[in-house]
Amino acid sequence: MRIAMIGTGYVGLVSGACFADFGHHVTCIDKDPAKIAMIRGGKMPIWEPGLDALVKANVDHGRLTFTTDLAEGIDGADAVFIAVGTPSRRGDGHADLTFVFEAVRELARALTGPVVVVTKSTVPVGTGDEIARILAVEKAPVGTSVASNPEFLREGAAIRDFKIPDRIVVGTDDESARETLREIYRPLFLNQSPIVFTSRRTAELTKYAANAFLAMKISFINEMADLCEAVGADVQEVARGIGLDNRIGAKFLHAGPGYGGSCFPKDTLALLRTAEEAGVEQRIISTVVKVNDDRKAAMADRVREAVGGDLAGKKIGVLGLTFKPNTDDMRDAPSLALIAGLLDGGATVVAFDPVGREHAEPLLPGIAFAEDAYAVADGADALVVVTEWDEFRGIDLADIAKRMRGDALIDLRNIFDGAEVVRAGLSYRGIGRPA
C-alpha cells in the first residue's frame, strides 16, 4: 500500500516509520523545511529509543521518504493520514484543530483521485464529520472517504506499542475505507492484534476515554499515597495488592508527583469541554484534573518540609526534568511546577536530565544545569528525584551523601530503598511510604 503521512511530529514520524517497516511505501510530509532536512540527515526531531535506526533502515530500503511538497507526497496514495498537533486552545481547554482543518483543506485541493483520509491526530468527537464537510466544500474527488484511527502510543515505548498493540481502533462507516485500513494493518492482525471497527464518533471518543481513565488511575493512587503516609501504610504494596486483581490491573498505579506530557493534561481538558458542550457533567474527570494540578503544586512543600520548613538560601538538586523517562518531552512536566515553587521560596536550583536539557532550558531560565547526577549533588541541601530515569537507580548513594551539604533525599518516584538511603548517610522521604 502507498501511504502519505501529513505531519512529522511524534505520532506522524513513529507511525510513518512503523508502516514502512511493515513493507508499505510511506511518504512523510511536513511544511517545515528545516525539520525535513534534519530527518533526511539522520537526526530525529524527537527523542524516542530506536526511532533513528528504524527511520534509517526504511529510508535505505526505499520504503520511507520525506518531503515538504504535499502534491508530491500524496501522489498515488491509497490513504492519507493526518498526524498534526492538536494542542489545548488557550483560554478554554478545547483542542485546537487549526492545523487539522488547514491540512484537510490543502489536501482536498491537491488530490487528483479518491483516497481514504485518516485522522491519526487526537481530535474531539465530531471532527471527522467536519473533515468530511470540508472535503465536500473543497470538491475533493468523488469517492474520498474519512476514517478515524486514534493512536495509543506511549512516549519511550512507541515503536513497541505500534508493532505490538493492545488493539487497533478504526472508525468509519465506509466499507472501502475499512478494507483499505484492514490491508494497511494486515501485518498486525496476522499476529492476532485485535482490530475494532466502529463508527467515527465512537473511535474519536474512545481515545479520550482511554486517556482520561489512565489519568484517573494515576490521580487515584496519588491520593491513596497521601492516605498511606497519614496512616503508616506503604502505597507500593497497596498498589501491588490491588493491581494483581485482573479487574484493576497494575499499570498506571505508580504514585508520584502527578501526570504530565503531551496527552493526559490536554486530553482530559478537551474531554471536559466536549462534555460541557453536550450538556453532560463529568464529575470524575473534573476531579481528576483538579487533583493532578494540586498534586504538582504541592511537591515543593515536600521539599520545604524536608529542609526544615524554609527554602530561602537552600540549594536544591533536581534529578530528572522530563515528564517521564525515555523522552525529551517537557510538556506539563511535574518538574516545572516543582521548580517554580522552589524558586518562589528563595531556593537556588541545579538540575540534570539525561536528554531533556535542550527543551528544558527555555522553560527554566532561573536554574543551573549540571552535566551528571553527581554534579547535581555538589553542595546541595536536598536532592529531589523527579523523573525515574534508569541511570539514577544505580547511583552511588554514599558518594552522593559526601558531596551534599545537607542530607535530604526526596524520592518522588520511589526508585530507592529507604533503608539503603539511610545506610548511605542520607535521610529519606518517598511517596506514600513509611518514614
Which residue numbers are catalytic? 263
Q: Which residues pair with 99 in a beta bridge?
A: none
- Alpha carbons within 13 A on the beta-carbon side of 181: 28
How far is 17 from 28, CA to CA, in rounded Å? 9
Interhelix angle 283-306/264-278, nearest 10 degrees: 150
How far is 39 from 35, CA to CA, in rounded Å? 6
How far is 124 from 86, CA to CA, in rounded Å? 10
Calculate the CA 74 to chain-centre distance: 28
Closest CA to 148 of 183, 113, 124: 124
**Spatial contact of 54 and 18, defined as CB atoms under 8 Å apart:** yes
**DSSP-assigned letter for residue 300:** H
Q: How far is CA 144 from CA 116, 127, 128, 133, 134, in A?
A: 6, 16, 13, 12, 12
Q: How far is CA 326 from CA 155, 337, 342, 389, in A?
A: 7, 20, 25, 7
Closest CA to 15 of 111, 150, 107: 150
Closest CA to 185 of 132, 147, 155, 130: 147
Residue 196's CB: how many other CB atoms inside 10 A? Answer: 12
- Alpha carbons within 13 A on the beta-carbon side of 193: 18
- Alpha carbons within 13 A on the beta-carbon side of 160: 7
Name the CA dihedral angle for 303, 309, 314, 317, rounded to a multiple of 10 degrees.
-10
Place of cell 530525529: 44
Check the CA dihedral 167-169-170-173 and report its sign.
Answer: positive
Place of cell 526526596: 410
How far is 435 from 429, CA to CA, in rounded Å? 6
SS3 at position 427 = strand
